[in-house]
């Protein structure tokens, strides 16, 4: 993994109101409080998780200065070593994903460095630490997380040793799923040399949508992932990957968001646009004849292959390919 490329590419999705630091994540509470991640991709010191005040335009260490003050040799379990993502969970808490890697790209400080933190935004205190040492390895890069509010599961992603992690939020138990599977690794040459799977859980909780940053979106029903806790057969990737469905030939992406109707918004880092994917009208992407509709994203003309300069020629075409799998009838409104 070449972290410098991550900085160059992901900078395209930085929040415009802050240009001095690389912002790799923003989340807002329902009341409008803003939390940001400043990535330390250059091993810079300084704040990494902050609350941003939109009135004064100032950033304050969050939840406090001590968590933001990791220095070599300090306890990696009680500091942000390499905070990579944060988001407000369905329970209203702020969750922070820490790679456990100094600067986000150094050695993984196992077992307590890689972790998910739960922070109560009312008391501004860390209320729970979920160590990810049992679900990560020395090649891991804990990247992001999504939640399922009904089953009480969270799904951290591993972008270094590619795979999904299923976390039982009540017990803290973890299982890995689809490690090094084609769907979590790559379907096609990446224009981004960085490697950042993201994933989304749809509001109905039935499906988990995910893709590596190189593009190619897959989905799996969450019940199969969650089954890994009680059904050891499902810990076998060759069995679990039978439940993986190719979903959309998405372009290389920087990040995504999902709305209440289940529309997935996928940032296209090659052409600087946002692609909207509506899972209720799968015909846009997978029609009933098993045809996958896909945008031609000109990956070979992207920044990753051209020393940081995009040679994308517009307009971009949309092609189709027959994949022989139709849309799920369950997924139609
Ligand atoms: C932002 O700063 C202003 C001025 O100090 C303060 O009144 C306000 O409460 C702050 N907002 C947040 C969300 O902290
Ligand atoms: C904060 O930033 C906004 C947008 O750039 C600007 O309009 C406003 O004047 C700034 N406020 C302060 C107190 O600097
Ligand atoms: C940050 O770490 C340095 C070096 O260990 C220490 O001197 C300082 O007191 C710490 N500051 C905070 C706010 O924890
Ligand atoms: C950051 O520090 C870590 C640990 O010392 C090192 O492995 C890594 O190469 C450094 N990264 C950069 C970009 O200097
Ligand atoms: C956060 O702490 C406050 C005060 O103790 C409590 O009322 C609230 O329920 C907590 N929030 C969550 C999401 O647990
Ligand atoms: C790993 O799992 C074992 C057994 O459940 C537990 O005792 C240990 O604390 C876990 N380690 C980490 C780093 O989570
Ligand atoms: C989960 O979220 C949905 C959508 O916001 C909501 O309707 C439902 O009540 C939530 N369920 C639980 C158990 O929190
Ligand atoms: C475990 O998973 C396998 C593979 O999908 C399935 O055939 C079996 O019925 C499952 N067993 C239980 C107890 O759910
Ligand atoms: C499927 O193929 C049939 C036969 O070519 C065609 O009539 C029909 O319109 C196609 N349906 C879709 C959804 O493309
Ligand atoms: C990128 O730069 C290297 C070193 O200058 C050069 O060898 C290579 O041909 C360049 N690649 C492209 C696609 O321009």
DSSP for 215-278 reads --EEEEEHHHHHGGGT-GGGGSHHHHGGG-EEEE-PPPEEEEEE-TT--EEEEETTTTEEEEE-
Query: Model-level pTM?
Result: 0.75
Nearest bound ligand to the CA of residue 32: 1
In Å, how far from its chain's centre is CA 225? 17
How high is the pLDDT of residue 259? 54
Q: What is the CATH number of the domain that holds 123?
A: 2.120.10.30
**Residue 332 lies inside a defined structural domain of this protein:** no
Ligand 10 atom closest to 307 (CA): 1
Q: Kindly state if the Cβ of 309 falls inside 6 Å of ligand 10.
A: no
How high is the pLDDT of residue 109? 97
How high is the pLDDT of residue 285? 31
**Residue 293 lies inside a defined structural domain of this protein:** yes
Cα(278) to centroid of ligand 9, in Å? 20
In Å, how far from its chain's centre is CA 305? 23
Query: Which residues form the domain of 191?
Result: 2-322
Q: Within 13 Å of residue 325, how many CA atoms lie on the same side as its CB?
A: 12
- What CA–CA distance (Å, rounded) separates 85 from 79? 15
Inform me whether the pLDDT recorded for 332 exceeds 80.
no
How high is the pLDDT of residue 292? 35
User: Exposure of 7 by Cβ count < 10 A (0-12 exposed, 13-18 middle, 19+ buried)?
Assistant: middle
* Exposure b/e, 169-181, CB count within 10 A at least 16 = b: beeeebbbbbbeb
- What CA–CA distance (Å, rounded) separates 97 from 118? 9
Q: Kindly state if the Cβ of 239 falls inside 6 Å of ligand 8.
A: yes
Atom 1 in ligand 6: residue holding the nearest Cα:
134
- What CA–CA distance (Å, rounded) separates 294 from 33? 37
**Residue 268 lies inside a defined structural domain of this protein:** yes
- What CA–CA distance (Å, rounded) separates 24 from 258? 17
**Residue 330 lies inside a defined structural domain of this protein:** no
Instruction: Report the pocket of ligand 4 as residue ranges, CB < 6 Å.
Output: 42-43, 102-103, 105-106
pLDDT digits (tens, 9 = 90+) for 262-318: 556 665 656 555 566 654 432 223 334 443 333 333 434 544 445 666 665 554 333
Mean pLDDT, rounded, for 25-33:
78
The token duo for 188 is 């096609």
- What CA–CA distance (Å, rounded) separates 291 from 293? 6
pLDDT digits (tens, 9 = 90+) for 185-241: 865 444 333 444 566 666 667 888 888 877 778 889 999 999 988 888 888 888 898
Closest CA to 177 of 220, 206, 214: 220
**Which DSSP symbol is given to 302?**
S
Ligand 10 atom closest to 309 (CA): 14
Number of domains forming the structure of the chain: 1
Question: Torsion over CA of 220, 225, 238 and 183, rounded to 10 degrees?
Answer: 40
**Residue 333 lies inside a defined structural domain of this protein:** no
Q: Kindly state if the Cβ of 92 falls inside 6 Å of ligand 7.
A: no
**Residue 75 lies inside a defined structural domain of this protein:** yes
Mean pLDDT, rounded, for 11-35:
58
The token duo for 218 is 């897959």
Residues 93 and 118 sit within 8 Å (Cβ to Cβ): yes
Confidence of residue 328 (pLDDT cuts 50, 70, 90): very low
Q: Which of 33, 52, 56, 94 to mutate to test the pocket of ligand 1 (most atoms within 8 A of CB)?
A: 56
**Residue 234 lies inside a defined structural domain of this protein:** yes
Distances (CA, A) of 261 to 89, 184, 333: 18, 25, 10
Ligand 8 atom closest to 234 (CA): 2
Cα(53) to centroid of ligand 1, in Å? 6
Cα(242) to centroid of ligand 8, in Å? 12
Residues 41 and 58 sit within 8 Å (Cβ to Cβ): no
Atom 1 in ligand 9: residue holding the nearest Cα:
289
Atom 10 in ligand 8: residue holding the nearest Cα:
231
Q: Kindly state if the Cβ of 171 falls inside 6 Å of ligand 8.
A: no
How high is the pLDDT of residue 113? 97
Ligand 3 atom closest to 69 (CA): 1
Ligand 8 atom closest to 231 (CA): 1
Atom 6 in ligand 1: residue holding the nearest Cα:
55
Ligand 3 atom closest to 65 (CA): 13
- What CA–CA distance (Å, rounded) separates 26 from 215? 22
**Residue 328 lies inside a defined structural domain of this protein:** no
pLDDT digits (tens, 9 = 90+) for 31-85: 878 888 876 655 667 889 999 887 888 889 999 999 999 988 999 999 999 998 8
The token duo for 117 is 């933190």
Phi and psi angles of residue 301, each rounded to the nearest 5 degrees, phi first = -100, 5
How high is the pLDDT of residue 257? 55
Closest CA to 332 of 295, 278, 257, 290: 278
């Amino acid at each position: 993994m070449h972290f410098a490329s991550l900085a160059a590419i992901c900078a395209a999705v930085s929040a415009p109101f802050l240009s001095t630091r690389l912002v790799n994540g923003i989340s807002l509470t329902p009341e409008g409080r803003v939390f940001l991640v400043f990535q330390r991709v250059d091993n810079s010191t300084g704040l990494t998780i902050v609350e941003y005040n939109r009135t004064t335009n100032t950033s304050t260490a969050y939840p406090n200065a001590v968590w933001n003050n990791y220095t070599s040799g300090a306890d990696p379990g009680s500091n942000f070593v390499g905070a990579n993502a944060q988001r407000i969970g369905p329970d209203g808490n702020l969750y922070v994903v820490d790679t456990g890697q100094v600067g986000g790209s150094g050695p993984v400080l196992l077992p307590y460095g890689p972790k998910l933190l739960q922070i109560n935004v009312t008391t501004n205190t860390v209320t729970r630490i979920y160590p990810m040492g049992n679900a990560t390895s020395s090649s891991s890069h804990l990247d992001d997380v999504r939640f399922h509010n009904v089953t009480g599961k969270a799904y951290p992603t591993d972008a270094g040793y590619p795979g999904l992690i299923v976390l039982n939020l009540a017990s803290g138990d973890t299982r890995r799923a689809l490690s090094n599977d084609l769907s979590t690794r790559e379907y096609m040459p990446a224009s981004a040399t960085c490697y950042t799977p993201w994933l989304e859980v749809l509001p109905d909780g039935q499906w988990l949508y995910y893709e590596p940053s190189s593009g190619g979106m897959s989905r799996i029903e969450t019940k199969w992932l969650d089954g890994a806790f009680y059904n050891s057969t499902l810990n076998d990737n060759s069995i679990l990957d039978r439940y993986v469905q190719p979903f959309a030939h998405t372009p290389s992406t920087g990040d995504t968001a999902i709305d209440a109707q289940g529309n997935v918004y996928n940032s296209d880092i090659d052409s600087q646009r946002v692609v909207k994917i509506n899972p209720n009208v799968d015909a846009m992407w997978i029609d009933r004849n098993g045809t996958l509709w896909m945008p031609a994203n000109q990956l070979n003309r992207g920044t990753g292959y051209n020393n940081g300069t995009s040679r994308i020629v517009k307009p971009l075409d949309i092609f189709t390919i027959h994949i022989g799998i139709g849309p799920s009838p369950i997924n139609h409104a």
